Structure 1
Amino acid sequence: MKKVLVVDDHALVRKGLISLLTLEEDLESVGEAYDIETGLRMIENEKPDIVLVDLRLGKESGLDLIKRAKSMQIECEFIILTSSAQPSDLQKAKEIASGFVLKEALPEELLYAIRLVANKRKYYDPGLLEIMMTVGNKDEMELINDLTPKEVEVLKELGMGHSNKEIARKLFITENTVKKHVSQILDKLDFTDRTQAALFANIKGIAQFRVS
């Protein structure tokens, strides 16, 4: 069972999240906090597996809580909850958090994110991806043009949800070659995992490209 702590400055939000967690057999709510100091104490005492953190904790930032927790070498994963965010916030959060979920997300989406992050994977709410995909100072076509034709083919297949084995079979290349292409794609687009690349391919229409 995975232990989850909720850190949010709105009591109704905290209570709603805790009520949701109590309905799940594989998740356990270990408490709630409304600010950074209380949150850090509870993280240290309860040792949760996952912490749901509001991006805005009153006049404080949930990012500061995560940074301080990591400096204390506390072993847990963080999912940021937000109703809106600036690109700069998301870029900073991308480096230290394992997921982002919009507060208006459906309950099943949040639960899916929690379980995904619990398995050491990342989750990004589709509603935030348009903001997140403004990578660096390049526009989207510059990013795509950095890829080789074969990398565009592989990216298209990622966007269609295909595995390395399926991509290798479809493009008549080895799985090792697919892995190399995926690694290059992630490096060029500055993504941390193939899920981001797949979502990028769909948002930018790459999954619908005709590749000659």
Structure 2
Amino acid sequence: MSQPIRVLLVDDQPLLRMGFRLILEGEEDMRIVGEASDGAEAVRLTERLEPDVVLMDVRMPVLDGIEATRRITGSGACARIIILTTFDLDEYAFAGLRAGASAFLLKDVGPNELVHAVRVVASGDAVVAPRVTQRLLEEYVRSQPDTPKPPRDPLLQDLTPRELEVLGAIAEGLSNAELARRFFLSEATVKTHVRRILTKLHLRDRVQAVVYAYETGLVTPSQGLDF
């Protein structure tokens, strides 16, 4: 039997942590390795306990969940982070994805959806559908004041023309199956392209690829792709 998924619970509300614990500990392939009540403690415990997945609340004392996420992902830790939000289109969902989270879930998520999210994120994938991420980022970009377009990222020079096309399609929100149909490729080949893109651009998952496309100005809501 493979090793259980190690989960760290981070929330300043003990009752909420207890609820998540009861749900996840009922699964044979999951183990709660620790709990934190603020972001600073979450950073320390992630370093010490090395969880696979961190369920991260946003509004907490000492250090909020967004900054804690930024510090954890910036440290090179292998832990994947699921941001817990109250509204799916609030500012914290944007900020969490930009900080390096692999997913966000509403706090009133159902037990089955929570368990599924933890498993998917632990496998290295992202829970938030690319189209949802695209919609979030478009709303975020539109809400920001006009700023000069950032300079072209030198890392893009490492991508082949095909990989640039695939990156653009990922930013549009296409799934692997849709990418395969668009480019007349097998899904296995598409997965290889996606993996190489993530490696070359130092990105954690597909969600981060969509964030990257918007953050670097490759995609804008009004102009579309700009390769």
5+ residue gaps, structure 1: 139-150, 184-191, 198-212
Per the alignment, in what secondary structure is the counterpart of residue 139 of structure 2? coil
Query: What pairs with 1:114-129 in structure 2 (closer than 5 Å)?
Result: 114-124=118-128
Quick one: distance in 1 between partners of 2:129 and 2:18? Answer: 22
Offset at residue 84 of structure 1 (A): 2.6
Pick the aligned partner of 1:134 from 105, 122, 139: 139
Name 1:175's counterpart in structure 2.
Answer: 185
Deviates more, 1:110-119 or 1:78-87: 78-87
Offset at residue 113 of structure 1 (A): 0.9
CA contact (8 A) 2:38 2:62 kept: no
CA contact (8 A) 2:85 2:93 kept: no
Quick one: distance in 2 between partners of 1:86 and 1:59? Answer: 25
Offset at residue 87 of structure 1 (A): 4.5
Query: What pairs with 1:9-20 in structure 2 (closer than 5 Å)?
Result: 9-20=12-23
Matched, 1:94 2:104: no
Offset at residue 3 of structure 1 (A): 0.1
Identical amino acids, percent of aligned pairs? 28
5+ residue gaps, structure 2: 144-167, 195-204, 211-227
TM-score relative to the length of structure 2:
0.59
CA contact (8 A) 1:4 1:48 kept: yes
Offset at residue 92 of structure 1 (A): 2.4
Q: Deviations over 1:107-143 (max 9, x none)?
A: 11111111111111111289x76645525239xxxxx
Offset at residue 65 of structure 1 (A): 0.8
Pick closer, same or farther for the CA change 1:120–1:52 going to 2, 3 Å: same
CA contact (8 A) 1:55 1:63 kept: yes
Q: For the aligned residues, what is the CA RMSD?
A: 3.7
Q: Deviations over 1:150-170 (max 9, x none)?
A: x99xx79x58x94555x36xx
| Runs of 4 or more consecutive aligned structure 1 residues displaced over 6 Å after TM superposition | none
